[in-house]
Amino acid sequence: MVKYLDKNIYFCSGRTALYNGIILSNLNKKKIILLPEIICKEILIPFKKLNIKYKFYELDDQLKPKWSKLNKLKLKNISSIMMIHYFGFPSDISKFKKYTKKNKIFLIEDYCHGYDGYYKSKKLGSFGHISIMSPKKIIKELYSGGVLKLNFNIKKKKVNLEKKTINLFQLFIQKIKNLYIVNNIKIFIKNIKIRPSKIIHNDNVFENKLIDDMSLKIIKEKNYSLKYRVDQYKILYNFLKKNNIDPIYNLNKKDKIIPWHIPFYLKKNEYLNFKKIIKKANLNIIQWPSIPNELKHDLNIKKKYSELYCITIK
C-alpha cells in the first residue's frame, strides 16, 4: 500500500520547516547530506541540531552544480542532496531529478529565495521529496513564514502499518501545535509589549514554532502583490548593465520568476568604486551569504563568497 503525501505545513521560518521536514523524512542519520558550497549559516542549524553530517559539492559561476565532479562522488554513504534555487531562479531541476532517481537518494528542494514562481508551468517548491520555502523573505507584509511541502511516498507492506504511519504523522503535527501554543503563552507573558516578529525568532524554541495567525491569513488569502519585485529586478538589471556589471541572472519575459535580490560578482578593487555609485543611487548593496566556519579554510571557496554581492529589493 502506498500513501501519497502532498501537504503544506506552515512554520515561522524556512529553517524550522527544514528541521521538521528532515524529521518526517526519517533520513538515515549515519549517512551524509550533500549541500552546495554557497549556503547561509542559518540553514546549517537544523542539520547540527539533529546531528546529521553533511558534505559540500562545488558550484559554477551561475551557482549551479559542477555535474562532472558531482557525478564522480561515491554515494554509498549519501542519503540526500539539497537543491537551492538561488535568488528565486530555478536550478538544474531536470538534472537533479535524474541524479536523485538514478542514485536512489532523497531530494531536498530549497526555495527560500522565492515564492509563487514557476518552472515549466509547475510551481517551484514542488519538485523535491521535501521542499521548503520562506515567504517572509519575499512578502514584506509577513511577520513570519516558512513552508514545508511534502511530496514523497510512504511504502509499508501491511495496511495496519500504513495507518500507523499516518497516525504518527497526525500526532507529529498535533505535537507541534501543542508546543507552539505552550511556548507562545510563556513567551507572550514575558514579552507582552514586544512585537510578534521579535517573539517568533527565539532560537531556543524555533524547532516547534508555527507561523503567526496574521501572516498565515495573508498567505492563504493571497493578500499581497509580488509584481513590484519583478519590476524592481528589471530596473536594477539595467542599472548594473549600464555600470558594466553583469548580473548572474537575466529575467526574461517568458519567465514566471519572483526574485529575492539581484546578484553579481565584484572584485575588491571594483567594489570600492561601485559603492560610491550605489550610495548616490540610494540603493543597498550587501554580501550574501557569510561563509560558514567549515569552509573558511578553503581559499577558493572563500574567494567565491567574498566576491558575491547583491542589491536588495526592498
Q: Are residues 91 and 196 in the same domain?
A: yes
pTM of the model: 0.84
pLDDT for 153 equals 61
Give the residue from 224, 239, 274 where a domain finishes: 224
Give the residue from 202, 224, 246 where a domain finishes: 224
**CA distances (Å), origin 37, targets 238, 261, 278:** 29, 19, 28
pLDDT for 182 equals 47
Q: Are residues 197 and 249 in the same domain?
A: no
Interaxial angle between packed helices 159-190 and 14-25, expressed in degrees from 0 to 180 and rounded to the nearest 10: 150
Tell me what the mean pLDDT of segment 248-261 comes to. 92
Q: Are residues 196 and 241 in the same domain?
A: no
Q: What is the pLDDT of residues 62-92, one digit of tens each?
A: 999 999 999 999 888 999 999 999 999 999 9
Return mean pLDDT, the chain: 84
Q: Are residues 200 and 261 in the same domain?
A: no
Q: Are residues 29 and 132 in the same domain?
A: yes
Give the pLDDT band (50/70/90) at residue 174: low
pLDDT for 253 equals 78
List Cβ neighbours of 128 (8 Å cut-off, separation of 6 or more): 83, 107, 108, 109, 149, 151
Give the residue from 224, 242, 273 where a domain finishes: 224
Give the pLDDT band (50/70/90) at residue 296: very high
Q: Are residues 276 and 149 in the same domain?
A: no
Q: What is the CATH number of the domain that holds 306?
A: 3.90.1150
More confident residue, 6 or 42: 42
Which range of residues forms the domain containing residue 257? Answer: 227-312
CB count within 10 Å of CB 184 equals 17
Give the pLDDT band (50/70/90) at residue 164: very low
Q: What is the pLDDT of residues 97-131, one digit of tens each?
A: 999 999 999 999 999 999 999 999 899 999 999 99
Q: Are residues 187 and 301 in the same domain?
A: no
On the question of pLDDT at 39 being above 50, the answer is yes
pLDDT for 176 equals 59
| Tally of domains within the chain | 2
Q: Are residues 157 and 51 in the same domain?
A: yes
Question: What's the longest Cα–Cα distance across the chain?
Answer: 67
pLDDT for 171 equals 56
Nearest CA among 6, 25, 21 for reference residue 207: 21
Q: Are residues 243 and 215 in the same domain?
A: no
Q: What is the CATH number of the domain that holds 179?
A: 3.40.640.10
Q: What nine digits make up the cell of 106?
A: 532523497
What percentage of the chain has pLDDT greater than the value 70?
80
Q: Are residues 217 and 241 in the same domain?
A: no
Give the pLDDT band (50/70/90) at residue 163: very low
pLDDT for 102 equals 94
pLDDT for 7 equals 73
Q: Are residues 246 and 257 in the same domain?
A: yes
What percentage of the chain has pLDDT greater than the value 90?
70
